[in-house]
Structure 1
Amino acid sequence: MTWLKMILLSIIQGISEFLPISSSGHLVIVESLMDIQADQTDVNIVLHAGTLLSILIFYHKTIFRLINQDLRVIPLLIVGTLPVVVIGLTAKKYAEHFLESPLLAGCML
């Protein structure tokens, strides 16, 4: 994948992540239209990690203030995340097929 295509996908991810639309669905459709052959999972992880990093940078003061006010938040976040991780890893192979389908992404938009 060229840098230009990756930058385009990053822009689409950055714009659509904070709107009430499916950023992943739009990425699947754009990748299909532009014939981008990429490992969908790796690209999505990198794009979503970038989104997470931007949120952490933008809201770092608020996040630190909330954590410092009530340290019970940290274990609760960890406990709340564990079921999602277990379900995600269990359903990974099944879900990847559907997440890469432009037809399904288009129907769901």
Structure 2
Amino acid sequence: MDWFQVIVLALVQGITEFLPISSSAHLVLVPELTDWSDQGLAFDVALHVGSLLAVIIYFRIELIRMTVSWLRSWRGAMDEDARLAWGVILATIPVGLAGLAFKDLIETQMRSATVLAVSLIGFGLLLGYADWRRPGKRSEYQLRWQDIAWIGIAQALALIPGTSRSGITMTAALLLGLSREGGARFSFLLSIPVIILAGGLETRELILSPVSVDWPALLGGTVLSGVSAYLCIHYFLAFIRRIGMQPFVIYRVIFGIWLLWFFA
């Protein structure tokens, strides 16, 4: 793998992982537009590690408070940080169960360009509708238990390629009355256990299939993916506070139409 390939794939992963535009659609498209060979499991794991480090570092203060409060909650002390920590855990259960149940179906029969395009357009328009309605004012700390359940169920839909995990969870949060920033922040916190689960499965497959490892490429991919993901989170939160989700909706629709045309 040459360094240009490392840079492109790391930037695509880092930027699209947290934007509501579907990282899977972009990562599927890259090899279709180039003659690059598959980057391999080891590099996929490295990119996920970079994204995971980015979101952990960005929310490090909140995560420390949540962890401390979560541990205290086992003794009956439930504050807003403990509720948020439990919310992240409970909202991850549906996608974990759905991933185990439908993993083979998703990997073998739902990776077509048509599925990607339809998901990009359909769920993009739903995001547009949710954002077009007057946004709520509740933060991630004001989630109700039923809100957490619905967002968790919505996150399971992200297993459909092209849906976008961040996009569908933000859509659900907006429909439930959260502010744009509150919905986005909860979505980013939800990414932590999801990336850990996905990376864990890839790591297990990597261990079971011995391959040679290009350590400089892995390290470079991890760092670049992490830095780009961190900057993406920071600027995305500032962007939606002022402008909203509609530019991403337009991008999704145009991208979906282009995919249908390109692969027709």
| Superposition TM-score, scaled by structure 1 size | 0.71
Among the aligned pairs, what percent are the same residue?
Answer: 35
For 1:26, the equivalent position in structure 2 comes to 26
Distance, in Å, in 1 between the alignment partners of 2:23 and 2:12 is: 7
The 1:99–1:83 alpha-carbon spacing in structure 2 relative to 1, beyond 3 Å, is same
- Other structure's SS at 2:35 match: coil
Letter in 2 for 1:22: S
The 10-residue stretch of structure 1 (53-62 or 2-11) with the greater mean CA deviation from structure 2: 2-11
Distance, in Å, in 2 between the alignment partners of 1:18 and 1:57 is: 14
Q: How many residues align?
A: 108
For 1:81, the equivalent position in structure 2 comes to 92
User: 1:1-80, aligned counterparts within 5 Å?
Assistant: 1-38=1-38, 42=41, 44-71=44-71, 72=73, 73=82, 77-80=88-91
* Ranges in structure 1 where 5+ consecutive residues have no aligned partner: none
* Ranges in structure 2 where 5+ consecutive residues have no aligned partner: 74-81, 121-255, 257-264
Q: Deviations over 1:14-41 (max 9, x none)?
A: 122232211211111112111333267x
Structure 1 residue 102 displacement after superposition: 4.2
Q: Deviations over 1:64-87 (max 9, x none)?
A: 012223434456644543442232
Q: CA contact under 8 A between 1:12 and 1:26: conserved in structure 2?
A: yes
Distance, in Å, in 2 between the alignment partners of 1:80 and 1:99 is: 24
Distance, in Å, in 2 between the alignment partners of 1:49 and 1:64 is: 19
The 1:98–1:82 alpha-carbon spacing in structure 2 relative to 1, beyond 3 Å, is same
Distance, in Å, in 1 between the alignment partners of 2:23 and 2:104 is: 21
Letter in 2 for 1:95: I
RMSD between aligned residues: 2.9
Q: CA contact under 8 A between 1:28 and 1:101: conserved in structure 2?
A: no
